[in-house]
Amino acid sequence: MNANQIINMVLRMVMRRVIGMGVNKGIDMATKRGAKDPKDMTPEERMQAQQGKEAAKKARQTAKLRRMGRF
Give the model confidence (pLDDT) of 33-55 as tens digits.
666 777 788 888 888 888 888 88
47 within some domain: yes
pLDDT attached to residue 13:
87
Range 18-47 average pLDDT: 76
63 within some domain: yes
DSSP code, position 34: T
Q: Where are the alpha helices (DSSP H) in the chain?
A: 3-31, 43-68
52 within some domain: yes
CA distances, 1 to each of 10, 11, 20, 54 (Å): 13, 15, 27, 44
- Domain with 62, as residue range(s), is 41-71
Q: What is the pTM of this model?
A: 0.48
67 within some domain: yes
Is the pLDDT at 71 greater than 60, yes or no?
no
6 within some domain: no
> Total structural domains in the chain?
1
pLDDT attached to residue 34:
62
pLDDT attached to residue 70:
58
